[in-house]
Structure 1
């Protein structure tokens, strides 16, 4: 069986987690690995171990351990659900998966700032995942500022590449990714 890794890329509230959960529900031999869940767990149960600033090494170590376990101990397709906005880190991660025999799928969520702002205003999302920001609005403002310095994802990075710019495109991209995972 050909194993896939699906990586979502996008700003906060762009739809990455929702897409990942829908995909996991539709394709039974998948698992979502979501760093927001790891952050919430650590912030709730091990807050004294979480650094106040700089890289969150404990969160990254936890995610790596879960990914490594899923690769070695299961035959599941992996859905890596976090922002993945830094091109260098994204490229290294995708290349590592390719070396391990995975085919790669990159789903880029490039929705409008207006939609992101609306989603944040209407969100009931738990802010326990936040470490260095006081709100998701602050996270979005930081990500918007960073966007001028961040290389956008491209088709050359993965075996399969999809972009979602509008809410109406989610079901079409979801169906295409489901088809790849089910083939």
Structure 2
């Protein structure tokens, strides 16, 4: 079986987690790996081990251990539900999976900020994932100040953009078709 790695990229509240859960329900033999779960676990049970400043290396180490286990000891398709906004990080992640024979799918969420702000206002998401922010509005503000290169078609075997909520079902259906065809390159 050819395995898929589906990597999401986008700002807070853009729909990455919802998309990942819906895809997991429809894509047989798949698992969602969401760094927010690792962050919440650490902040709940091991806050003393968090680095006082800089990158959350502890969260990344736990996430990498989970990825290694899932990639090397299971045969699941993997849905990585993270922001993945920085090109170098995406590149390293995609290289990691390409070396293991996965077919890569990158889904970029380009939802307008006004929609994101409305979602944040209505959100009841747990803030236990935070280490250096206190609200999701603050996270969005930081993401907007952090100029990063948008994901591109050349980064993965298959590339999709979700710019409206109704795009989600179409992208999921196209990923299911890729799975049925056995992966393969597209880069359209």
Q: What TM-score comes out, normalization by structure 1 length?
A: 0.96
Aligned residues of 1:8 and 1:80 also touching (Cα < 8 A): yes
Runs of 4+ in structure 1 over 2 Å off: none
Give the CA deviation at 1:178.
2.0
Q: Which residue of 1 aligns with 2:185?
A: none
Answer with 110-119 or 88-97: which moved more: 88-97
Aligned residues of 1:77 and 1:181 also touching (Cα < 8 A): no
Matches within 5 A, 1:64-143: 64-143=64-143
Aligned residues of 1:52 and 1:132 also touching (Cα < 8 A): no
Q: Which residue of 2 aligns with 1:156?
A: 154
Distance 1:10 1:105 in 2: 14
Unaligned runs of 5+ in 2: 182-188
Q: Which residue of 2 aligns with 1:165?
A: 163
Distance 1:67 1:179 in 2: 25
Aligned residues of 1:3 and 1:77 also touching (Cα < 8 A): yes
Unaligned runs of 5+ in 1: none
Answer with 8-17 or 19-28: which moved more: 19-28
Q: How many residues align?
A: 181
Distance 1:3 1:176 in 2: 16
Q: Which residue of 2 aligns with 1:176?
A: 174
Deviations 1:132-177 (A, max 9, x none): 001000000000111xx21100000000000000111111111111
Distance 1:14 1:169 in 2: 12
Give the CA deviation at 1:53.
1.7
Q: What TM-score comes out, normalization by structure 2 length?
A: 0.94
